[in-house]
Amino acid sequence: MSTKGSFGDSDEKNVVDVGVTHVAVADKEVDTAAQLAAALDEELSPEEANRIRKKIDWHVLPLMCTLYWVQFMDKTTLGSSAILGIRTATHLTTNQYNWLGTIFYLSYLVFEYPQNLALQRFPVGKWMSANIFVWGVALCSHAACKSFGGLFAVRLILGMCEGSITAGFLIVSSMFYTRKEQTLRVGYWFLMNGTAQIISGFLSFGTLHIKTKNFEPWQWLMVITGGLTIIVAVLYWFLFPDSPTNAWFLTQDERAKAVKRIQENQTGVENKHFKIEQFYEALTDPKTWLFALFSALDNIPNSLTNQRQIIVSSFGFTNLQTTLLGCVDGVIEIVTIFTGVQLAARYKDSRAYVGAIYFVPNILGVLLINFLPWSDKVGLLFGQWLTGVGTTGFVLSLSWLSSVTAGHTKRVTVNAIMLIAYCVGNASAPFMWQAKYRPRNHVPWIIIGISYVICPLLLLVIRALLARENKKRDAEPVDDKYEDFYIEVVLPDGTRTERRVDKEFLDLTDVQNRDFRYVL
């Protein structure tokens, strides 16, 4: 057997007892799970794989869902506080209030790539836990702020810490789950945003009834949500796994099987070393920028997070009614994300189609808000609710991007670019909501409507691009360039031997690995 090429700083080596020339690779060049996978001789039965998945679900998914619920509830505290008195208490102008929404995402944008590099370099669970703790302290500190300057500072800190959450979840989801499972799991933890809106609505309603001297309802909201966040940070430090290769709840044998279970992804688990060639590949890959454009445009309407309560209140509802009606937004998000990811997982290669279809109600909602008479507050409210359906498209794009990108450095780079684009959309959008456009806000709603039209078209373009690449690879001859790479492993009895590393654990990118096929 002859070596077909070199790999990183590998070195050629003769194995006399089998008469084979092959390439021995350094640990840093391959995936962290390579040794575990190479040491596992037995085939993994579907029943055993399913048992491992259930065990992972039981220990990982509740923590992911809890954190995403808490972090989104924390993000909506600014919008909820708008009708609880924060603007009056801190003497905020309309422009200053918009800046509080923008600085969060500008900070998120600036720190997103450093956060992704840290997630690659340090243990994922511990790094996220540290960020969650700082996040919780900053949220509690809102209650002490008396002016725009103080709020600006704590919102900046929130944005800095937020950058680790979604990026970390995407990495963890790809470590523990198959590509089909990722679609569902990303949907499950993302739909906790809807749960957060419901609980936040009831919390806001409850704080409106707290009567304390020198401590207003919006301050109580900040302290309560910040305290919950700190509790979650402690739980993450002790319970959240960094990787299937060292997950505390799996035995050594189960860790190897957990790694073997996701081999079909052809993306491996992780590699702790930054590879500059993968970074450049991420920057020159067209799909990176198509997903980024989609992310930026799809999150321009996300400025509604901080404006929704103000808009609903302007329809003529009281503060109490507005607070409770905000719970409906959460119910809509839960139902639409759940049904969307179920459809995408059930029907093969349907991600783009499902995401595009779910944008239709959003477009209808924008039309209703723009053209219904201002006196029809119920119709306007329904139009507002319809604009929450299309969140499904963004959720599907997150899991889709993670499933079609291989090579750990490339994956963290692409994730960072998409989330930076997410920040661009979120940071620029608040300035659409100017006092001069009230009460109808036609200009911002038209911009949102245009975004809702372009986004589904982008999903379909991405699908066509990936489908064409799959056909091109199907027509290529078999690529055996990376078949003869070996790594030293320690067997259960303590003996050392060399085992071939499956291509899936060589930390190859989706471009380098010609056997990689894109899910659609």
382-411 residue pLDDT tens: 888 888 888 889 989 988 998 898 888 898
pLDDT at 41 (0 to 100): 60
Domains 47-270 and 278-477 share a fold: yes
Q: Is-contact 97 234, C-beta < 8 A?
A: no
Q: Is-contact 205 216, C-beta < 8 A?
A: no
pLDDT at residue 360 greater than cutoff 50:
yes
Provide the β-strand partners of residue 21: 14
pLDDT at 28 (0 to 100): 53
Q: What is the DSSP string of 109-130?
A: HHHHHHHHHHHHHS-HHHHHHH
Q: How sure is the predictor about 179, in pLDDT bands with cuts at 50, 70 and 90?
A: confident
Give the closest residue to 116 by CA, choosing from 405, 397, 392. 405
Top pLDDT among 57 and 429 is at 57
Interval 58-115: pLDDT, tens:
999 999 999 988 888 877 777 777 777 788 888 888 788 888 878 888 888 889 888 9
pLDDT at 459 (0 to 100): 95
Top pLDDT among 496 and 288 is at 288
> Using CA atoms, how far apart are residues 290 and 401, in angstroms rounded to an integer?
10
**Where are the chain's structural domains?**
47-270, 278-477
Interval 415-439: pLDDT, tens:
889 988 988 888 777 777 777 777 7
Residue 143 in tokens: 């209650």
Q: Which of 71-75, 186-190, 337-341 has the least mean pLDDT?
A: 71-75
User: What percentage of the chain exceeds 70 in pLDDT?
Assistant: 84
User: CATH fold of 278-477, please?
Assistant: Growth Hormone; Chain: A; (1.20.1250)
Domain 47-270's class? mainly alpha
Q: Is-contact 211 220, C-beta < 8 A?
A: no
Residue-averaged pLDDT of the chain: 81
Q: How sure is the predictor about 40, in pLDDT bands with cuts at 50, 70 and 90?
A: low
Q: What are phi and psi of 15, to 5 degrees?
A: -110, 100
Give the closest residue to 161 by CA, choosing from 217, 207, 226, 208. 226
What Cα–Cα distance (Å) separates residue 82 from each residue in 77, 160, 409? 8, 22, 41
Top pLDDT among 106 and 464 is at 464
pLDDT at residue 3 greater than cutoff 60:
no
Residue range 208-234: mean pLDDT, rounded: 86
Interval 469-491: pLDDT, tens:
999 988 888 777 766 666 666 66
Interval 253-294: pLDDT, tens:
888 888 888 777 666 565 677 888 989 999 999 999 999 999
* Beta carbons within 8 Å of 472's beta carbon, 6+ residues apart: none
Residue 200 in tokens: 């936040």
> Using CA atoms, how far apart are residues 102 and 106, in angstroms rounded to an integer?
6
